[in-house]
Structure 1
Amino acid sequence: MKNDILKIGNKTFQSRLIVGSGKYKDFQTTFDATLAAQAEIITVAVRRVNITNPNEENLLDYFKGSKIAFLPNSAGCTTAEEAITLFRLTREATGIDFIKLEIIGDTQKTLYPDVLETLKACEVLAKDGFCVLAYSNDDPIMAKHLENAGASAVMPLAAPIGSGLGIQNRYNITFIKEAIKVPLIVDAGVGCASDAAIAMELGADAVLTNTAIAGAQNPILMAEAMRDAVRAGRASYLAGRIPKKPYASASSPTEGLADLKA
């Protein structure tokens, strides 16, 4: 599927698997897992992982010479104002305007996004020239509002962040796919490779996963599994599944059976 290109804003990618950079034991493992996944985008929580201070160990240094795009995210922000300020400072320090907007409303239990603050920030950042990938709940109405506000992609959760529960909202994912024209990237909740395949079979344009890889007993092997699952799920979606039926349907032709019995 060499011509099956993922386009986000004015950027294009061959891989439809986006990986995160948190929870790894060190930057080297982060780098190795990203390469194993053959991902072309890695998202980085600017408040938790250093990419702006050249005087400290910097994740950017590990990726020098690679073609992997950095996607700074605003994890840890709880208001639109905080996220807007963070991204403006990040762009000033790194020149990166390709961002994942993430504003959390419930920081104690669910880590669910505050969609009203997200929408507010999206409007401002898009007008500022940022390519905004907006993390959101699984509401197709909000997804459309984010698209109208200038989001270059909408990233609905499949289950709570880091839960590994898998795709808990299949119908909502398909509703969002029907509602928007920008890419739909399933974000949060993926626990294993089959979850990624299911997301892609539902029509997601890409999958973002962090904990499922970083927290695996063998992160490199899990990264490879996620890579293959996303590819298989995408191919399955493009191929078109057979209709579901409530009864059996013979897989072999039945013509001529009467003649044989005779």
Structure 2
Amino acid sequence: MQMLDRPLDRAADDQLTIAGRTFKSRLMTGTGKYRNFDEMRQSIAASECEIVTVAVRRVQTNAPGHEGLADALDWTKIWMLPNTAGCQTADEAVRVARLGREMAKLLGQEDNNFVKLEVIPDSKYLLPDPIGTLEAAEKLVKEGFAVLPYINADPMLAKRLEEVGCVTVMPLGSPIGSGQGLNNASNIRIIIENATVPVVVDAGIGVPSEAAQAMELGADALLINTAIAQAQNPAAMARAMHLAAVAGRLAYQAGRIPIKTYASPSSPTSGMITC
């Protein structure tokens, strides 16, 4: 057992680092779309996540389902990731990011300069604007933000955002809330191969097998909201997503076998008794 324990122990110690801050969990979750706060709290606990996104505009305006959200969670145990959801232009996103930083300070996270950057003018497919995202990212980095940009699975854009100083890139697997899984796996693989910052697969994951698939590709982390919040049993789904993220990461580190065209016997053929 000792020989097995060592690599598994190393995997257990494997941590996610973003902007110099370390996290044990590689699963991030959100706060939207839950039926009530109790389900949200139970799900976040079951997921064992340490980073939770909060849509700043919806909290600021007390949008339905967000009234009292800032007080609904224990922010001494969870790192807030303010989100510029609902912003259609770069200028809007920059203003909301500033509000998010102040909101984090009010909740006791004085050193929290994280922001999940979303610039989405498209109301039907909710696809991010690459030009507006890059423009906002450049401004926010200059203002000292740790920017986590939500993007299409575009390897060139991902590299450009990394070059301007973003601390992660967050390519979508498929459109937000669609549950279509990893429609962009080949591009996500290219982003992962070329990135020197963490790659967080965000949006479109519907079931744990898809979460594991993203981690098996080499993604550093996942952000999953709708698949958990809208499940028939959100807490159970949150736990399943946690286990999938762990399994996928461990499988990636273990290294899969090569894919072959023909069968290969699992038992050795040498030294066999001939009949």
Taking structure 1 as the reference length, the TM-score comes to: 0.94
The letter of the residue matching 2:241 is M
Which stretch shifts more, 64-73 or 153-162?
64-73
Which residue of 2 is the match for residue 256 of structure 1? 271
Shift, 1:62, TM fit: 2.4
Percent identity over the alignment?
53
Q: Which residue of 2 aligns with 1:138?
A: 153
Conserved? CA contact 2:80–2:104, under 8 Å: no
Which whole-Å CA distance do the structure 2 matches of 1:93 and 1:24 have between them? 21
Deviation at 1:65, TM superposition (A): 6.0
1:222 counterpart letter in structure 2: M
Kept in 2: contact 1:200–1:233 (CA 8 A): yes
1:105 CA drift (Å): 3.2
Contact 1:119-1:146 within 8 A present in 2 as well: yes
Deviation readout 1:182-213 (Å, 9 max, x if unpaired) = 00000000001111000000000001010000
Q: Is the 8 A contact 1:143 1:179 kept in 2?
A: no
**Aligned-pair CA distance for 1:170:** 1.4
- Which position in structure 2 is the counterpart of 1:222? 237
- Residue 105 (str. 1) matches residue 121 (str. 2): yes
Aligned length: 257
The match for 2:168 among 135, 146, 153 is 153
Per-residue CA deviations over 1:78-106 (Å, capped at 9, x if unaligned) read 10000001111222343242110011131
Q: 1:49 aligns with which of 59, 79, 84?
A: 59
Q: Is the 8 A contact 2:173 2:203 kept in 1?
A: yes
TM-aligned CA deviation for residue 149 of structure 1: 1.3
**1:110-166 deviations in Å (ceiling 9; x for gaps):** 110001000000011011111110000101000000001111000000001100001
Q: 1:47-90 deviations in whole A, cap 9, x for unaligned? A: 2235999xx94223222264111101011001000000111122
What's the counterpart of residue 89 of structure 2?
Answer: 79
Separation in structure 1 between the aligned mates of residue 264 and residue 91 of structure 2, nearest angstrom:
58
1:26 pairs, out of 33, 36, 61, with: 36
Looking at structure 2, the residues matched to 248 and 75 of structure 1 have their Cα atoms a distance apart, in angstroms, of 49
Structure 1 stretches of 4+ moved >6 Å = none
CA distance in 1, matches of 2:244, 2:177: 19
CA distance in 2: counterparts of 1:93 and 1:169, whole angstroms:
34
Q: Which amino acid is the alignment partner of residue 131 of structure 2?
A: L
More displaced, 27-36 or 110-119? 27-36
1:67 aligns with 2:77: yes
**CA offsets per residue over residues 221-262 of structure 1, 9 Å max, x none?**
0000000000000000000000000000000000122xx225
Distance 1:26 1:101 in 2: 26
1:209 is aligned to 2:202: no
Alpha-carbon distance between aligned partners in 1 of 2:103 and 2:274, rounded to the nearest angstrom: 80
TM norm structure 2: 0.89
Letter paired with 2:16: L
Which residue number corresponds to residue 17 of structure 1?
27
Mapped contact 1:41–1:68 kept (Cα < 8 A) = yes
Q: Secondary structure at the match of 1:100?
A: strand
Amino acid at match of 1:244: I
Distance in 2 (alpha carbons) for counterparts of 1:93 and 1:159: 30
Quote the residue 1:89 is aligned against: 99
- Determine the C-alpha separation between the residues in 2 that align with 1:23 and 1:113: 20
CA contact (8 A) 2:153 2:172 kept: yes
- Closer/same/farther in 2, CA of residues 81 and 200 from structure 1, 3 Å limit: same
Please tell me the residue identity of whatever aligns with 1:261: T
| Cα root mean square deviation, aligned | 1.7
Separation of aligned partners in 2, 1:112 and 1:242:
35
Amino acid across the alignment from 1:24: Y
Partner of 1:119: 134
What SS does structure 2 have at the residue aligned with 1:261?
A: coil
Task: Tell me the CA shift for residue 169 of structure 1.
Answer: 1.5
